[in-house]
Chain A
Amino acid sequence: MATTRDYEPNVVLSNQDYNVVGTRPLRPDGADKVTGRALYGADFAAAGLLSGSVLRSPHAHARIKSIDTSKAEALDGVRAVVTSADFPQGGEGPVVWQRDNVLASDKALYRGHAIAAVAAASPHIAEEAVSLIDVDYEVLTPVTDVQSSMKGDAPILHDSLMTDELGEKADKASNVASHFQHVKGDVKAGFKEADVVIEREFTTKTVHQGYIEPQAATALWNNDGRLHIWCSTQGSFAARDACAKILDIPVSQIRVVPLEIGGGFGGKIDVYLEPVAALLSKKTGTPVKLVMSRADVLQGTGPTPGSYAKIKIGAKKDGTITAAHAYLAMEAGAYPGSPVGAGAMCVLAPYDLENALVDGYDVVVNKPKTAAYRAPGAPNAAFAGEQVIDEVAKAIGMDPIDFRMKNAAKEGTRQVHGPTFPRVGYEEVLEAMKSHPHYNAPLDGPNQGRGVAVGFWFNIGFDSACNIAVNADGTVTLQEGSTDIGGTRASIAMQAAEVLTLPYEKVHPTVVDTDTIGFTAVTGGSRTTFATGWAAYEAAQDVRTKMIDRAAQIWEVDADTVELEDAVFKSKSDPELSMTFAELAGQLGRSGGGITGTAAVSPSGVGGAFAGNIVDVEVDPETGKTEILRFTVVQDAGKAIHPSYVEGQMQGGAVQGIGWALNEEYYMSDSGTMDNVSLLDYRMPTSLDLPMIDTVIVEVANPGHPYGVRGVGEAPIIPPTPAIANAIENAIGTRLFALPMNPAAVAKAVMDK
């Protein structure tokens, strides 16, 4: 270690105390997980369960001329074979893309694209049957990177896809699905005012979320017409609705039961296996389970895009940014819909800019359809934007944090894409970075460097529901529809406990299926602790009101005179009248019946989150290997309901960002095949590659939430790649413009210097 510690590694800069909110209780799902009892997607079992297997395209781009399943169907033990022809046909645009992504129809658009599937008596028979399916392919030339795909002579993926060019539809097929712009002020004039203008180009590679649990789904299309699906998903309602669309049946015909989830990071929002298992179950009349291998996961599920960016920033000598232009092009994968829109909203968000222009391009390529991955689009954009910010700060001789502070976005700043910031905690994050002992500690030796960078994620609200029921022993059960990928059962239960003045242990949360709770949007967009937490808050208020009414009824006093404090109901007027929460709970049956509370919310007061990193690295200039010596994450959480899980998000995001920065990439062969389809060669960081990630939680309350919560899950993955790039530049004196900054790339940069 290069530096010594003279501070507490995990710090919470808190501004308001509560009873339960802000404490660190144990998670309700902990015991089952550490004892191996928790049921994940692949653990589900049912009587008469069949095993499925999926045939995947060996080609990155091919026309499917015919599929002959007769030999597979004839194999002993095979119960059904399905292809895309078994789906309801028709429709156009997104529904067709979604359906074709699940089982290819006319074209295979990436290596690993699902073509057909088999249900059989055992996994071995299913695998063998898949190898007996004959597909006649006309192999086409693939295009697997965004810059090649945008060229006029690139192989075209979709004959019907015409560019949406600033709202106008082009008349010629293209791989560019859309080009949009956000404009503020006059960038041309702004650059003229600048003393320093720096423009740089950047590229990033396709990377995967790398959740440890591969996708798994079991479907039973019952004889009564109802379809039951047990799966590992970030959104049971999202999975239900996607299956309803693809299968063309009403949403009420489907029940999705979410099982425990072994990581998602955005990658378990889209459906892959669920509709296929449903088709196989419809044909066989029995439950069918499909489970992916790691190679299936890497080749057949959505990674996050490779991208190209060009960033131009101008500033005056006094540090004022006069203009900024960000050009972002991102790979959508096989079908339109890259996260370039989100990247465009975030790339310049930390800066209060007079003049700015953002161009975004959504481009299809012969790789798996991209899916959400933790602040989708923003890390790609920040890798580019935050390096140019660093370079401009250096060029005008300003400290990089001071430079950011001078141009910091704050309450009232209008963002380039339109919205004005409500109260945000960016300046407080910068102050915490600047005054942190890490930022002021000396580096210790040659080939070491320090870098900083920041990132913004807007977060989302959307629909959530919650039910709470009071038990006779004074505990409450809490049902919610948000699948738990980050400790949200705890953080949601804590908000209900706070309202009811109960200890956390008295609230028993359960994630339930789509038949049991009101519509709840995906666990994504850093929304769950914010929005489902709000639903729990409202449901708990409902219970609280009803309990107070009941106490008043029993005491024959006015409800206005009854208050609930520290789990005791009291009359404000008569000190003799007092009853614990448990005592009242025990009397509910005799005094008018049980009490339940419920809420369905769609909160709009979303609070965006800013995060910043300080990183120290040491580079071996001969081998190009970068060691992360020290890493500090500072983030505005609004209010950390459960600080340990907020810190977990900050550390986890940082670790994934370190993976992007140093080694992770889809290594593509010329034929469009990903070569490194295992976690041996798709190199995510191991614990031995990381220092302890230190955290500082800044709490600038979000005025749009009862406890001030901002989402925290996504922002922490944004600053690591540029912070590490800036640190490497500081260490070796030359800058890297492409991800990953792996040893070969760093060694080459040193040699080319």
Chain B
Amino acid sequence: MKWIDYATPHSVREAVDVLSEAGGRARVMAGGTDLLVALRAGVYDIDLVVDGKNIPELNEITYDPTNGLTLGAAVPCYKIYGNQAVATAYPGLIDAASLIGGTQIQGRASLGGNLCNATPSADSIPPMIALNGTANIAGPNGNRQVAIEDFCTGVRQNALGSDEILVSLHLPAPVANSGANYIRFIPRNEMDIAVAGAGVSVVLDNGDIKEARVSLASVAPTPLFVQEAGDAIAGKPANDETVRIASGIARDAARPITDMRGTIEFRQHLCEVLTRRALNTAIERAKENN
């Protein structure tokens, strides 16, 4: 392994300057739990690691019931699930934040890093898609917003320009009668990458599905937003049949490959099972959230 330089900018502005100078030969580090492993494995050929831990905006959590949640890109998982207001408002997000890695990893790993790492199996991306999240990106010409479902562009590829940095993630405030859930399937009970995962959210209206969003992990080159699954059940009663319709659409939308973690057939099958189970939990949560 060769020498790599390390920069510690103290502002977003400074970070953007450092990235611009590096001309694409740099990567930003939040917790480093993916990046350092990837560097050792030779996944990236870079000259510079830019540490985001000293940039205030990347390390703040702000939540209020009107404006929703703004989550600095480098905020570690344990601070997310340890924040009572956030945990109460976004149980679907906590599902992911609390199952990524073990306790030690959760002390460093961030949802911003998970998003930028942009693997198909990232556990936090489907729930952020289901919760209508947006990414706040800074570059030389100011800031721009990208919907989470548009952020990943390929396996380990994302929408960031080489001179841009992910500053924060934003989730709108939860509305009444809404619920969300993320579940994944792994062969063991810990220390595994998702064979498939489903992140969903629903809003209920008098026992009917008013709105639903479904997103899948590990079954396409990027985390998959299955808009048609949610659209197809909007206005339908929140019952088993409706849930089956959406989960069937999710199964058909999945475009998995066969690899060491699962076969095409098994992953498609899991999409149906996981979407069904996640929707049932989300509906239960929505009923309790009024």
Contacts and interface: CB of A to CB of B under 8 A. Distances in A.
Interface of A: 124, 127, 622-625, 662-663, 667, 675-676, 680-681, 683, 685-686, 688-689, 742-744, 747-748, 751
B259 A686 contact: no
A581 B40 CA distance: 59
Q: Most A CB atoms within 10 A — which of B195, B266, B273?
A: B266
Given A623-B270, A743-B185, 14 more contacts: A622-B273, A625-B187, A667-B260, A680-B191, A680-B192, A680-B193, A681-B260, A681-B261, A685-B188, A688-B188, A689-B190, A742-B187, A747-B266, A748-B266
A743 B266 contact: yes
Contacts of B259: 675
Contacts of B193: 680-681
Interface of B: 1-2, 185, 187-193, 195, 259-263, 265-266, 269-270, 273
A624 B262 CA distance: 12
Contact of A744 (B1, B188, B190, B263): B263
A744 B262 contact: yes
Contacts of A622: 273
Contact of B189 (A623, A680, A688, A751): A688
Contacts of B269: 747, 751
23 contacts: A124-B1, A622-B273, A623-B185, A623-B273, A624-B266, A625-B185, A663-B187, A675-B259, A676-B260, A681-B260, A681-B261, A685-B188, A686-B189, A686-B190, A686-B191, A688-B188, A742-B187, A743-B185, A744-B263, A744-B266, A747-B266, A748-B265, A751-B269
A146 to B, nearest CB: 20
B266 A663 contact: no
Please give me the 4 A-B residue pairs with the lowest Cβ-Cβ distance, nearest first: A667-B260, A744-B266, A688-B189, A676-B260
Contacts, number: 50
A96 to B, nearest CB: 34
A366 B51 CA distance: 44
Contact of B188 (A124, A624, A663): A663
Nearest to B2: A124
A164 B184 CA distance: 51
Q: Most A CB atoms within 10 A — which of B188, B266, B273?
A: B188
Contacts of B191: 680, 686
Contacts of B266: 624, 743-744, 747-748
Nearest to B272: A622
A85 B272 CA distance: 58
Given A680-B193, A744-B266, A689 B273 contact: no
B185 A689 contact: no
Nearest to B191: A686
Contacts of B273: 622-623
B186 to A, nearest CB: 9
B101 to A, nearest CB: 11
A675 B260 contact: yes
Nearest to A684: B188
A683 B195 CA distance: 13
B290 to A, nearest CB: 30
Q: Most A CB atoms within 10 A — which of B1, B195, B265, B269?
A: B269
A688 B190 contact: yes
Nearest to A682: B260
A637 B2 CA distance: 53
B187 A683 contact: yes
Nearest to A677: B260
A522 B187 CA distance: 36
A747 B262 CA distance: 12
A743 B187 contact: yes
B244 to A, nearest CB: 13
A743 B273 CA distance: 13
A623 B186 CA distance: 10
A166 B233 CA distance: 68
Contact of A686 (B188, B195, B270): B188
A342 B206 CA distance: 68
A748 B267 CA distance: 12
Nearest to A676: B260
Contact of A689 (B2, B189, B263, B265): B189
A744 B265 CA distance: 9
Nearest to A626: B187
Contacts of A689: 188-190
B28 to A, nearest CB: 24
Contacts of A662: 187
A440 B273 CA distance: 35
A686 B185 CA distance: 16
A77 to B, nearest CB: 14
Nearest to A666: B260
B188 A127 contact: no
B260 to A, nearest CB: 4
A748 B273 CA distance: 14
Contacts of B261: 681
Contacts of A623: 185, 270, 273
Q: Most A CB atoms within 10 A — which of B1, B2, B187?
A: B187
A675 B185 CA distance: 20
Contacts of A744: 262-263, 266
A406 B239 CA distance: 55
Contact of A683 (B1, B192, B262, B263): B192
Given A127-B1, A675-B259, A744-B262, A683 B188 contact: yes
Q: Most A CB atoms within 10 A — which of B191, B193, B260, B262?
A: B260
